Amino acid sequence: MLVMEQFRELVSLLVPPVCLGCGCEPSDSRAVLCEGCAEEMPRLIGALCQRCALPLPCEICPARIAPWESATAACSHEGPARGLVMALKSSGAKRVAAQMAKLMAEPQLYAQPVALVPMPPDPARLRATGVNHARVLADQLSCLTGRPVVRALERLPRAKSVRQVGASRKERQQPGRIQISSRGTVPPRCVVVDDVYTTGASLQAACLGLIRGGAKTVNCSVFARALPPGFNRSMPRTW
């Protein structure tokens, strides 16, 4: 894993940088986004539901019976934010995760004595790519907030627990589709860290695993929130 990470860092130095939002060459060679895409980042700010992280009013909240206390998201999953997510999943680059973590580190949630628990990866995908993107993201968030990263969750092999990528909304929400259990000592106050909140199925499985393992309170922190079908995208970015 360390060798692969060093290889990726070397490649990033040799290959000319490109903006992960639009593909142009940023004026700052160290930047992952050009100035234009950075300004157009679809931030989720204003009045947001503490349960589902969608702009209020969320009508019938999709997370009304979710096992977490709150869920926060920095951006909507579109535009430059989607580009960052894709790059993190494919490369696990620290500089991409650092950019995402900067936008996630604002909530007062991190001011509390909590442990950051990365969403556990699908074992087969981890073996194939060597990328544990949620762990990389949690590590960068830890650097900014000072909160420890605890690997308190594990995901069962694909024979019992399948991937969510590419699955339909209905498939994602099937009971028992994803099976996540706790490992080792579970901190009493946990924050599950992941890149995207789509239907919440993965987050729910992770939170239930922590609660069964002894966690007293569980919250969720993600970089991007997927807007549900039919959501009014013409609303201002500040909602």
What are the pLDDT digits (tens) for 63-82?
A: 999 999 999 999 999 999 99
| Domain enclosing residue 186, as ranges | 43-225
* Encoded tokens for 215: 């966690």
117, part of any domain: yes
Which residues lie closer than 8 Å to 204 by C-beta, 6 or more apart? 66, 67, 68
- Model pLDDT for residues 25-43, shown as the tens digit of each residue: 888 878 899 999 999 999 9
237, part of any domain: no
**CB contact at 8 A, 190 and 113:** no
CA 112 to the chain's CA centroid: 20
233, part of any domain: no
**CB contact at 8 A, 53 and 73:** yes
pLDDT of residue 111: 87
Separation CA 102–CA 33 (nearest Å)? 13
Tally of structural domains, the chain: 1
